[in-house]
Amino acid sequence: MKIDILPHRFEAASLPLPVYTSRVPAGFPSPADDYIEDWLDLNQHLIKHPSATFLAYASGQSMVQAGILDRAILVVDRALTPRHRDIVIARVDGELTCKLFDSQRRMLVAANPSYSPISLDECSDCEIIGVVIHAINKLCSHS
């Protein structure tokens, strides 16, 4: 999965959006639950370490079984130390990739069996850049 880093224009701007009080069921919603209880700022909800966080676009199919689709926006935290089975962004021979970190075997593993794992011990130039903490997938083609 190829990664394109979004241009860095971070400002601590607030973007509150309405939050409804009820959960959204997978069936027919109740008309009685049609009111806003609060406002939620996605920056506060998605980003714990603003100065160490960046966004990137995913490209490809290697992480589909982990829920990361082509063109997903990845929220990546560089302040976190990667743990076993975390999804990470790594630089491998000068190219960025998104993979599962297998700390026990020291490998980067795709979440798609069509892709081979990458051994960190056999890679001449490998570095884990950050931990993917959220993936935002587009589900429709309206925008």
Q: Which residues are catalytic?
A: 62, 99
Full DSSP string of 89-134: EEEETTEEEEEEEETTTTEEE-SSTTS--EETTT-SSEEEEEEEEE
- Other C-beta atoms within 10 Å of 137: how many? 12
- What is the C-alpha separation between 125 and 60, in angstroms, rounded? 22
CA dihedral 36, 37, 41, 45 (to 10 degrees): -120
DSSP 31: G
The residues, ordered by sequence, that sit 6+ positions from 107 with a Cβ below 8 Å of its Cβ are 117, 118, 119, 120
- What is the C-alpha separation between 129 and 78, in angstroms, rounded? 6
